């Protein structure tokens, strides 16, 4: 048993309370590799932003759970080396799908876990979430739960259709499970294709898709039921068109890739939404950079030359999210 406290990590409790009061959101960035982690930590250290490092099932399969945890431990030391005296870093399990997995993460030094039982019937979601909460809270590890279903595909989490969270269920769910934060479904979705062209309109000038707005009425109703309770938004990449265009112009094929407009995320961040999950945008930044370097220098064969540029692209992206979208800069 390793406590996250020994590793210099923190849980989300105080971070979320401050974020709700301060009208900003904490960035939750997924990581799978060293360059991504370096970029996240550099961006957070430079902007003095609290940050949540997320490990998904796909990341565990790709990079190995043990290795990722040691990388997060190393990230705390790296942040200090960068001059961030008291780093506010959470290591979070993204989309945990069983009690055993959540328990293993708690035992291994994660400071926060998500139990995503949102695809189960309501009472089963409550029972499983409660079991995880009871275990995690013994070690002061915070727990995120989910009500409602997001559409889209993210690693191994997939659903064809979304079901908005039912505001009339949230009080009962939060009370009976004891969860610390709640991921809700208001129209965001995982991946780089968040809406079909049929769900969108087209900008007559640019021909680009314009996505439908998020269901802020559902968010408002949830906040009315659970005043001051931490709300989480998954699937919140904005799919920057500059990266999509770069990728497409350099031989890629991402037709009609589309995300959540940043002004909607800005609006959400000012509310009780205090954790915003972003993964796909960094994949796009990474891919755009690699395509650019390899197109411009076809003879390049040193991965450091293109992964280094990818790291710079991601760092810029993370800083932009922190400063211009979530407003978490200077809060750690
Ligand atoms: P995106 O695919 O929009 O980046 O969402 C990531 C996410 O929600 C991870 O849980």
**Residues within 6 Å of ligand 1 by CB:** 30, 94, 154, 190-191, 234-237, 277-281
Kindly list the averaged pLDDT for each block of 10 residues, start to end, along the chain of length 332: 97 98 98 98 98 95 95 98 97 97 97 96 98 98 95 56 89 98 95 91 87 95 98 98 97 95 98 98 98 98 98 98 98 97
Measure 322 CA to ligand 1 centroid, in angstroms.
Answer: 16
- Index of the ligand 1 atom closest to the CA of residue 283: 4
**pLDDT tens digits, one per residue of 57-88:** 899 999 999 999 999 999 999 999 999 999 99
The two beta strands, 209-210 and 201-202, are antiparallel
Mutation probe of ligand 1 site: the residue of 26, 27, 29, 30 with most atoms within 8 A of C-beta: 30
Looking from the CA of residue 259, the nearest atom of ligand 1 is 3
Computed on alpha carbons and rounded to an integer, the radius of gyration of the chain in Å comes to 19
Distance CA 188, CA 238 (A): 10
- Global confidence as pTM: 0.96
């Amino acid at each position: 048993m390793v406590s996250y406290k020994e590793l210099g990590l923190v849980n989300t409790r105080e971070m979320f309370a401050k974020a709700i009061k301060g009208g900003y959101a904490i960035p939750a960035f997924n990581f799978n590799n060293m360059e991504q982690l370096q970029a996240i930590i550099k961006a957070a250290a430079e902007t003095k932003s609290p940050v949540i490092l997320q490990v998904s099932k796909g990341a565990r399969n790709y990079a190995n759970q043990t290795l990722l945890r040691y990388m997060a431990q190393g990230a705390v030391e790296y942040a200090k080396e960068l001059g961030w005296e008291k780093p506010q870093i959470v290591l979070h399990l993204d989309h945990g799908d069983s009690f055993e997995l959540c328990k293993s993460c708690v035992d291994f030094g994660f400071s926060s876990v998500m139990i995503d039982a949102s695809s189960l019937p309501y009472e089963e979601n409550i029972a499983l979430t409660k079991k995880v909460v009871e275990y995690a809270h013994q070690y002061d590890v915070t727990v995120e739960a989910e009500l409602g279903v997001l559409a889209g595909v993210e690693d191994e989490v997939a659903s064809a259709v979304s079901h908005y969270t039912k505001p009339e269920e949230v009080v009962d769910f939060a009370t009976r499970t004891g969860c610390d934060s709640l991921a809700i479904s208001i129209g965001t979705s995982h991946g780089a294709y968040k809406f079909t062209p049929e769900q969108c309109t087209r900008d007559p000038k640019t021909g680009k898709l314009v996505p439908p707005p998020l269901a802020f009425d559902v968010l408002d109703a949830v906040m009315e039921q659970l005043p001051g309770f931490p709300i989480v938004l998954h699937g919140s990449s904005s799919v920057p068109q500059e990266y999509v265009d770069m990728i497409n112009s350099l031989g890629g094929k991402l037709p009609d890739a589309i995300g959540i407009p940043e002004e909607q995320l800005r609006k959400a961040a000012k509310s009780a939404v205090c954790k915003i999950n972003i993964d796909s945008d960094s994949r796009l930044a990474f891919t755009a950079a690699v395509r650019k370097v390899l197109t411009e220098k076809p003879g390049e064969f040193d991965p450091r030359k293109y992964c280094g540029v990818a790291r710079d692209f991601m760092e810029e992206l993370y800083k932009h999210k922190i400063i211009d979208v979530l407003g978490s800069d200077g809060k750690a």
